[in-house]
């Protein structure tokens, strides 16, 4: 019973972080692009670190639960509000690293649909990537199985931040 309750809580938490009405609208940690720093912090809490670089304010949060894994999260804000964010999943070994990538990839595929850059995880030691270039932003999931101590990385960016980073 206790195990079933734990599984139910993890599923509820992971579903609530990805849950949204329209899969064409990208939410980062449940927030739309343009959300103010104040509104973000009211719901998420105060960050453990804040940094400014190239006109973006980066807020770092620890111990974020996403898809049943602990991650640290960075949220990026411009004068216009939330522009993007990254999750770095903490895993204990290569098996957990690979399982994390596969499970997060499956959740994103279910939510956002098929994509041109989609790599199934094999036992070959290399970098694997999956990405979605959608009208409402860009999502990028990466794993490097050569170095299991590198985290599974999940990046979200608004159309504006994506344009800035691509230089267009």
Residue 142, pLDDT score: 93
* DSSP 8-class letter at 151: P
CB 119 within 8 A of CB 130: yes
What is the CA 151 to chain-centroid distance, rounded? 12
Residue 1, pLDDT score: 45
Residue 37, pLDDT score: 97
Mean pLDDT of the chain: 84
| 4 — pLDDT class (breaks 50, 70, 90) | very low
Measured CA to CA, the distance from residue 159 to residue 33 in angstroms comes to: 9
Residue 129, pLDDT score: 87
Q: Is the pLDDT of residue 162 over 70?
A: yes
Residue 145, pLDDT score: 76
More confident position, 13 or 132: 132
Quote the radius of gyration of the chain (alpha carbons, Å). 16
Number of neighbouring beta carbons within 10 Å of residue 45: 9
Q: What is the pLDDT of residues 116-125, one digit of tens each?
A: 776 555 555 5
Within 8 A by CB and 6+ apart from 48, the residues are 60, 61, 62
Residue 146, pLDDT score: 77
* Cross-strand bridge partners of residue 84: 76, 157
């Amino acid at each position: 019973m206790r195990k079933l309750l734990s599984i139910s809580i993890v599923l509820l938490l992971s579903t609530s972080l990805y849950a949204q009405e329209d899969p064409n609208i990208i939410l980062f940690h449940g927030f739309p692009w343009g959300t103010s720093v104040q509104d973000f912090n009211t719901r998420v809490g105060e960050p453990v670190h804040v940094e400014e670089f190239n006109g973006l304010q980066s807020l770092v949060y620890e111990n974020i639960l996403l898809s049943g894994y602990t991650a640290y999260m960075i949220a990026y804000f411009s004068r216009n509000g939330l522009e993007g964010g990254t999750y770095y999943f903490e895993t204990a070994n290569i098996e957990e690293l690979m399982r994390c990538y596969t499970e997060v990839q499956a959740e994103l595929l279910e939510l956002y649909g098929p994509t041109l850059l989609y790599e199934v995880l094999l036992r070959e030691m290399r970098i694997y990537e999956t990405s979605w270039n959608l009208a409402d932003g860009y999502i990028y999931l990466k794993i490097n199985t050569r170095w299991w101590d590198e985290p599974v990385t999940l990046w979200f960016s608004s159309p504006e931040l994506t344009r800035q980073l691509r230089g267009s």
